[in-house]
């Protein structure tokens, strides 16, 4: 019997963030902490030798969560980390091989506690600093909402390479419903991964405001100054110390330990409050 329905392939892709020390141009200066993304260099076609997000095809009897965890362990040596499903991407032309529908996942890790390693079908692996530049933007008010258009340049750098991409993001609010369109104008990344990355960055910034997601980037014990620095990097803006500490007061528990090897008066160490619950209004 002839098959009635076309069966596309299904994949998963991982956007893994961390906050790490970047190399200082002057060795006398302390390294600056920056938001970074984990990329792999493809060892096979299509897009051979191009950098991409870690991903894989989903097995016939495999759950999406099983596939994304398998992919990370096989290709990057990362396992047992926080992952959140983000979005499903289905442009018919996103993969030159065949029709491929991909579900993307976001992960946040404390890179000091993991050891990355290039694995299966991976030519290289590395962390890249993330920098976003707004090139153009416009805002049009409409009868039932608005339409915001932004052209964004994504610059990813490691010690050897610089990867540039440009995406156009259109946010249209119609009768209270927000619709977002993303178009890749140019990209040094494989497939449509520039689109996946810009979506994940925006989702990450939004979630920082009302969830505990930032704590996935922290060690078990940390100072409040270190925690504030992570929030500032994720939100890409400075925060007032008093306001920040008031906001996160219920989210942390003070320990009897102090910061070690500090070149100044040692600060008290805190840990995440596992019993914290978001405020419900």
User: To the nearest whole percent, how much of the chain has pLDDT over 70?
Assistant: 94
Same domain, 197 and 266: no
Same domain, 63 and 200: yes
Where does the pLDDT of residue 42 fall: very low under 50, low under 70, confident under 90, or very high at 90 and above? Answer: very high
CATH number at residue 223: 1.10.10.10
Pairwise CA distance, residues 276 & 103, whole Å: 30
pLDDT of residue 166: 98
Where does the pLDDT of residue 281 fall: very low under 50, low under 70, confident under 90, or very high at 90 and above? Answer: very low
User: To the nearest whole percent, how much of the chain has pLDDT over 90?
Assistant: 77
Pairwise CA distance, residues 200 & 187, whole Å: 16
Q: What angle do CA 229, 85, 204 make, to 5 degrees?
A: 25
Long-range contacts, stretch 157-163, CB < 8 angstroms, 24+ apart: 157/128, 157/129, 157/131, 158/126, 158/127, 158/128, 158/129, 159/23, 161/51, 163/51, 163/128, 163/188, 163/189
Pairwise CA distance, residues 127 & 21, whole Å: 11
Average pLDDT over residues 215-229: 92
Q: What angle do CA 186, 188, 191 make, to 5 degrees?
A: 85
Average pLDDT over residues 172-195: 94
Q: In this model, does residue 167 exceed pLDDT 70?
A: yes
Closest CA to 198 of 171, 170, 167, 173: 167
3-state helix, strand, coil in the chain (%, to 5): 20, 40, 35
Inside any domain, residue 278? no
pLDDT of residue 30: 59
Q: Tell me which of 22-26, 66-70, 153-157, 195-199 is least confident.
A: 22-26
pLDDT of residue 260: 78
Residue 151, C-beta contacts closer than 8 angstroms, at least 6 positions apart: 134, 135, 136, 137, 166, 167, 168, 169, 185
Which of 208, 232, 248 is where one domain is finished?
Answer: 208
Same domain, 91 and 199: yes
Average pLDDT over residues 256-269: 80
Where does the pLDDT of residue 22 fall: very low under 50, low under 70, confident under 90, or very high at 90 and above? Answer: confident
For 57, the domain range is 9-131+193-208
Which of 208, 233, 256 is where one domain is finished?
Answer: 208
Inside any domain, residue 277? no
Same domain, 115 and 240: no
Pairwise CA distance, residues 74 & 40, whole Å: 12
Same domain, 236 and 125: no
Inside any domain, residue 187? no
Q: Domain total for the chain?
A: 2
Confidence (pTM): 0.90
pLDDT of residue 279: 62
């Amino acid at each position: 019997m002839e098959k009635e329905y076309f069966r596309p392939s299904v994949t998963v892709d991982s956007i893994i963030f961390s906050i790490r020390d970047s190399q200082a141009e002057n060795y006398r200066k302390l390294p600056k902490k920056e938001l970074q993304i984990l990329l792999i260099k493809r060892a096979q076609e299509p897009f051979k030798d191009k950098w991409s997000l870690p991903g894989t095809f989903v097995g016939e009897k495999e759950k999406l969560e099983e596939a994304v965890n398998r992919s990370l362990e096989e290709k990057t040596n990362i396992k047992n980390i926080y992952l959140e499903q983000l979005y499903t991407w289905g442009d018919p032309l996103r993969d030159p091989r065949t029709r491929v529908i991909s579900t993307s996942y976001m992960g946040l890790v404390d890179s000091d506690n993991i050891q990355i390693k290039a694995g299966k079908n991976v030519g290289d692996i590395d962390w890249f600093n993330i920098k976003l530049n707004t090139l153009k933007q416009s805002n049009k008010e409409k009868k039932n909402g608005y339409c915001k258009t932004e052209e964004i340049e994504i610059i990813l750098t490691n010690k050897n390479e610089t990867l540039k991409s440009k995406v156009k993001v259109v946010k249209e609010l119609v009768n209270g419903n927000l619709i977002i369109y993303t178009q890749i104008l140019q990209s040094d990344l494989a497939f449509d991964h520039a689109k996946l990355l810009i979506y994940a960055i925006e989702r990450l910034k939004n979630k920082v405001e009302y969830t505990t997601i930032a704590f996935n980037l922290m060690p078990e014990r940390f100072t409040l100054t270190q925690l504030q620095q992570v929030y500032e990097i994720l939100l890409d803006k400075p925060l007032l110390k008093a306001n920040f500490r008031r906001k996160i007061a219920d989210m942390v528990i003070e320990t009897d330990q102090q910061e070690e090897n500090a070149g100044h008066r040692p600060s008290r160490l805190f840990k995440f409050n596992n019993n914290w619950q978001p405020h419900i209004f």
